[in-house]
Structure 1
Amino acid sequence: MRILILGGTGFLGSTLLGKAEALANTVLGTSRKANEKLPNMVKLDVTDKETLERTIREFHPDVIVWSLLSMDEEDVLINTGLANLLNVIAKQTKLIFISTDGVFSEGNGGYEESDETKSIAEKTPLSIYINSKISGEKMVQEYHPNHIIIRTGPLYGKDLNQGIEHRTQRVMKQIAEKGCFYAATNMYRSFVHIDDLADAILELCTMDYKGILHVGPEQKESYFTFYQKRLRSLGYEENVIKQSMIDPEENPDLILDTSMNTERVRGLLKTEFRSVCSEEMKHV
């Protein structure tokens, strides 16, 4: 199988690249910056339609995985880059579009695939990213029937280069500076281990499934319990994570609960989505 990974040097993309190679797939990753150390990586900016079309024509992928992320410039990535891809991709090519749990901005939790997404007000935190992902989902659904849209919560684990997620790195830095970190007990997510998501994507590459899938374990976690377990697995004492509570009236822009119902994917795939694990590299 020939798999093109758009965003092959990112946290998800690099993990997916390594796992796909291990399964003897023919894989090509893309990056805005050329990497001479990786022979299966090419320099590509998806906003450059001509180069994108040439790359796809020369590689001739069976599956394209959109694992690109640009946060503050997500609108450009979607409105130009994804639009370019949808214009040049062959009808028979499977497109796997990685989206986010943030599309459920009302924050009520337990969301199913059929639940309605809702954009958030401009100039609020993450509005460009979330609203662009919603637009991207709609574009994929309208213009490329052979697609899978994967919605995932926050990712954790180690990537291809054994680096842990930036989210936890920031917490570790604050603990080093201040001795502790405060995490909310009433903000919930479906946290997903990077290896499980990559395994699920590769399994879906071989399946005749189309539509939306929510990925992750059955159990949601608060940010407090996530960091408590995550930092414990990295060798920290449990008391470095302190409890806090978010007041929705004082913080109306914060989305409290984007946890997802993952029953469909857990019944569809052999991949098992672990709860926040306790077996990671030990903190030195």
Structure 2
Amino acid sequence: MKVLILGASGFLGGTIFSKIKNSGNEVLGTYSKNNKNRDYIKLDVFEISSLTALVTEYKPDVIIWTVMNHEREEEIAEKVMPALCDAVGSRRFIFVSTSVAYEKNMSESVEPFLRTAESYNHHYFNGKIKSEQVISKLPNYCIVRPGSIYGIDPFGEMDNRSLALKKHVDSGDIYIRANNIEFSIVDVNELADAIIELTTNDYVGILNVSEEKPVSHYAFNKALCRKYGWDDSCIVANEEKENIYYLDNSLRKRILKTRIGWL
């Protein structure tokens, strides 16, 4: 199996790349600015002719998209994704998306809503939603909507949430986290395993991938401290305007064998 990972220099992309390479399969990864691995090749996905030429010349069996660009995500959806999908054709295409709504137990059929210009990170969310619309016309696609990603990647690097917590642990500064805002989470290694399983799975459609149950921001940070052996006395609970957004994993549990566990 030949796999092309677009965005392999990212936290998730690099984890997928490492696992596939170690399994003995042929894999090619791309980076745009940050090259953490000499095996990656430089590619700006906005250079559309270079992107489509790579797909044509490398002839991968599977293409995995893990690119994230918070400012230009809508441009990706409108300019890059249609051309890429033409080049993809009938190949297996796995697209890492995001949560598309704010709702308890979001199923795969949840109605996405476009954010307004005043909304947090609206370009990113709207771009992912628009890309999903383009990709869903392909014959052999899987859109993965993951929970918030945490953990330690194969290069020993932690996710940004853990790093932010560690700064407070080290400094002793109070870290206020809401105990009434719940969200879905997933370990980067378990998410990577699930995506790799999907490369040989014939499921076509959207799939939520996160842990069984949601967790509050407060409980999540407490659990991270237990996991890494850190002093959790800096974490203080508060209540904010309730904002509940977590995933229903019923479909994932029926389709995938990959175990998605708790901290």
TM range (shorter): over 0.9
For 1:97, the equivalent position in structure 2 comes to 95
Deviation at 1:214, TM superposition (A): 0.6
Asked if the contact 1:189/1:220 (under 8 Å) is kept, the reply is: yes
Q: Write the letter of the residue equivalent to 2:257.
A: K
Deviation at 1:53, TM superposition (A): 1.8
For 2:251, the equivalent position in structure 1 comes to 264
Asked if the contact 2:21/2:27 (under 8 Å) is kept, the reply is: yes
Aligned partners of 2:36 and 2:182: how far apart in 1? 41
Deviation at 1:178, TM superposition (A): 4.9
Aligned partners of 1:24 and 1:219: how far apart in 2? 34
Q: Write the letter of the residue equivalent to 1:237.
A: D
The 1:37/1:7 distance shift into structure 2, 3 A limit, reads closer
Aligned partners of 2:15 and 2:214: how far apart in 1? 23
Aligned-residue Cα RMSD (Å) equals 1.6
Per-residue displacement from partner, 1:159-188 (whole Å, max 9, x unpaired)? 131100012212222343452211111111
Per-residue displacement from partner, 1:35-67 (whole Å, max 9, x unpaired)? 49523x111111112111221122101110110
For 2:87, the equivalent position in structure 1 comes to 88
Q: How does 1:88-127 map to 2 (within 5 A)?
A: 88-89=87-88, 91-101=89-99, 103-104=100-101, 107-127=102-122
Aligned partners of 2:72 and 2:208: how far apart in 1? 25
Per-residue displacement from partner, 1:69-127 (whole Å, max 9, x unpaired)? 011222223222223311322x22111011112x11xx231111112111221132111
> How many aligned residue pairs are there?
263
Q: Write the letter of the residue equivalent to 2:254.
A: G
Deviation at 1:27, TM superposition (A): 0.2
TM-score (norm 1): 0.88
Helix, strand or coil at the partner of 2:190: helix
Q: Is 1:148 the counterpart of 2:142 in the alignment? A: yes
Deviation at 1:17, TM superposition (A): 0.2
Asked if the contact 2:31/2:41 (under 8 Å) is kept, the reply is: yes
Helix, strand or coil at the partner of 1:129: helix
For 2:10, the equivalent position in structure 1 comes to 10
Asked if the contact 2:149/2:186 (under 8 Å) is kept, the reply is: yes
The 1:179/1:129 distance shift into structure 2, 3 A limit, reads same
Helix, strand or coil at the partner of 1:149: strand
Q: Write the letter of the residue equivalent to 1:124.
A: S
Q: Write the letter of the residue equivalent to 2:49.
A: E
TM-score (norm 2): 0.95
Q: Percent identity?
A: 31
The 1:56/1:171 distance shift into structure 2, 3 A limit, reads same
Q: Write the letter of the residue equivalent to 2:32.
A: R
Aligned partners of 2:77 and 2:10: how far apart in 1? 17
Moved more, 8-17 or 75-84: 75-84
Give unpaired runs (5+ residues) of structure 1: 249-255, 278-284
Q: Is 1:136 the counterpart of 2:135 in the alignment? A: no
Give unpaired runs (5+ residues) of structure 2: none
Deviation at 1:11, TM superposition (A): 0.3
Helix, strand or coil at the partner of 1:238: coil
Aligned partners of 1:135 and 1:28: how far apart in 2? 26
Q: How does 1:35-114 map to 2 (within 5 A)?
A: 35=35, 37-39=37-39, 41-89=40-88, 91-101=89-99, 103-104=100-101, 107-114=102-109
Asked if the contact 2:9/2:35 (under 8 Å) is kept, the reply is: no
